């Protein structure tokens, strides 16, 4: 067993011949507040460094009856959409005095449940979860247990726990309408995880925009089954190799779009000359692609900020309105990936 090389607060105070209270106040940044001399503050900080002092967070948690930590669980941390949200959550949590533990459920509900149990056993004060999005019973259970929790992105209707998501319906409606205004009527939609709320709402946005343009329902093209690069690649290849391909493809997520771009490239096609493209999800590279992409941006900063606010409200004893459901507006970025067929 590795020998402990650091000392605790009491031993540090004894080394300095100071009271534990004085040393604690210096280390908690309260020297000025308690008029502790600058030279004393300097001595304490130097000794803490020399003796490798680090506060015992477990002892602090027991004393405060809270760990000042938040567990964050997302389906895929390697997906820029989620990693940017996590970054915003981490920054805001730190500003509010909380550390963040991050878990990746790998789009697997069993793993998501295991992470919820693990963070709960580690006594996090609250949870922010972007669920896989197909079942909500385990999320109801954690909410009913009294654990402060906020669900983000892949939400559910008729649930009691607070939800922060995007207005996925409006974003998809706006994207489809932009294509229709440019003369496209054969628009293929490559969807993500079927029955997840964001996907359902985006499909409805596409369907309603096509309906408003009087496109017969049997002319709608809806294919695909996951928010993945592979799904985008496979479906776009099939669509573009058909005898009568669509003039436009609307990809329902950032990763699907990457798959579509690979298919277009592999087939030796060019956007928008051969096919117009729109992506749900803005990414840092969207504007810098060979053909700058028209996208629907979700407000990842606002989603993160609101989620932290709601979970801290609960941690601080505020009972949020039951069924609180926040839909944050999306934003369309019009670039060069849509060909105008009207001219
Ligand atoms: O792949 C990321 C997608 O899944 C995003 O559009 C986000 O909304 C999530 O549901």
CA of 167 to the centre of ligand 1 (A): 12
What mean pLDDT do residues 105-110 have? Answer: 97
For residue 198, give the ligand 1 atom closest to its CA: 10
Distance CA 114, CA 129 (A): 13
Q: Using a 6 Å cutoff on CB, does residue 280 contact ligand 1?
A: yes
What mean pLDDT do residues 139-165 have? Answer: 94
Q: Using a 6 Å cutoff on CB, does residue 297 contact ligand 1?
A: no
pLDDT at 295: 98
pLDDT at residue 187 tops 70:
yes
For residue 196, give the ligand 1 atom closest to its CA: 10
pLDDT at 55: 80
Does residue 206 contact residue 250 with C-beta atoms inside 8 Å? yes
CA of 3 to the centre of ligand 1 (A): 46
CA of 111 to the centre of ligand 1 (A): 18
pTM of the model: 0.87
What mean pLDDT do residues 272-284 have? Answer: 97
Q: Residue 64 — pLDDT band, cuts 50, 70, 90?
A: low
Residue identified by tokens 């293929």 is 188
Q: Using a 6 Å cutoff on CB, does residue 130 contact ligand 1?
A: no
What mean pLDDT do residues 135-157 have? Answer: 95
pLDDT at residue 21 tops 80:
yes
pLDDT at residue 264 tops 80:
yes
Q: Which of 5-19, 262-276, 328-342 has the lowest mean pLDDT?
A: 5-19
The residue length of the chain stands at 343
pLDDT at 280: 98
Residue ranges and CATH numbers for the domains of the chain are: 9-55 (1.10.260), 67-165+300-328 (3.40.50.2300), 168-298 (3.40.50.2300)
What mean pLDDT do residues 218-239 have? Answer: 98
Q: Residue 158 — pLDDT band, cuts 50, 70, 90?
A: confident
Q: Using a 6 Å cutoff on CB, does residue 167 contact ligand 1?
A: no
pLDDT at residue 5 tops 70:
no
| Burial state string for 21-40 with b = 16 or more CB within 10 A and e = fewer than 16 | ebbbbbbeeebeeeebeeee
pLDDT at 2: 59
What mean pLDDT do residues 38-52 have? Answer: 94
Q: Using a 6 Å cutoff on CB, does residue 258 contact ligand 1?
A: no
Does residue 115 contact residue 103 with C-beta atoms inside 8 Å? yes
DSSP assignment of 219-253: G-EEE--SSSHHHHHHHHHHHHHSSS--SEEEESS
Q: Using a 6 Å cutoff on CB, does residue 184 contact ligand 1?
A: no
| Burial state string for 155-176 with b = 16 or more CB within 10 A and e = fewer than 16 | bbeebebbbbbbbbbbbbbbbb
Does residue 168 contact residue 201 with C-beta atoms inside 8 Å? yes
pLDDT at 56: 77
């Amino acid at each position: 067993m590795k020998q402990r090389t650091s000392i605790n607060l009491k031993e540090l105070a004894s080394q300095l011949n100071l009271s534990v209270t004085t040393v604690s106040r210096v280390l908690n940044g309260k020297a000025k507040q308690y008029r502790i001399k600058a030279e004393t503050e300097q001595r304490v900080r130097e000794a803490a460094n020399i003796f490798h002092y680090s506060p015992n967070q477990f002892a602090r948690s027991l004393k405060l009856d809270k760990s000042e930590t938040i567990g964050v669980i997302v389906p895929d941390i390697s997906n820029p959409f989620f990693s940017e949200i996590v970054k915003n959550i981490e920054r805001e949590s730190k500003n509010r005095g909380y550390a963040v533990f991050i878990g990746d459920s790998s789009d697997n509900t069993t793993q998501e449940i295991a992470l919820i149990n693990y963070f709960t056993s580690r006594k996090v004060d609250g949870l922010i979860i972007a669920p896989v999005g197909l079942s909500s019973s385990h999320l109801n259970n954690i909410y009913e247990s009294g654990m402060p929790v906020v669900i983000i992105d892949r939400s559910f209707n008729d649930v009691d726990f607070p939800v922060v998501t995007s207005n996925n319906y409006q974003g998809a409606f706006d994207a489809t309408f932009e294509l229709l205004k440019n003369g496209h009527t054969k628009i293929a939609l490559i969807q993500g995880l079927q029955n997840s709320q964001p996907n359902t709402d985006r499909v409805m946005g596409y369907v309603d925009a096509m309906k408003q343009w009087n496109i017969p329902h049997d002319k709608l093209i809806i294919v695909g089954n996951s928010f993945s690069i592979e799904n985008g690649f496979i479906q776009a290849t099939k669509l573009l190799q058909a005898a009568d391909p669509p003039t436009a493809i609307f990809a329902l997520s950032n990763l699907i779009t990457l798959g579509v771009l690979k298919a277009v490239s592999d087939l030796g096609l060019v956007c928008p000359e051969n096919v117009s493209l729109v992506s749900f999800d803005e990414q840092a590279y969207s504007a810098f692609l060979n053909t700058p992409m028209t996208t629907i941006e979700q407000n990842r900063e606002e989603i993160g900020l609101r989620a932290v606010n709601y979970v801290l409200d609960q941690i601080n004893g505020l009972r949020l309105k039951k069924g609180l459901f926040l839909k944050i507006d999306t934003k369309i970025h019009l670039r060069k990936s849509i060909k105008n067929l009207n001219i």
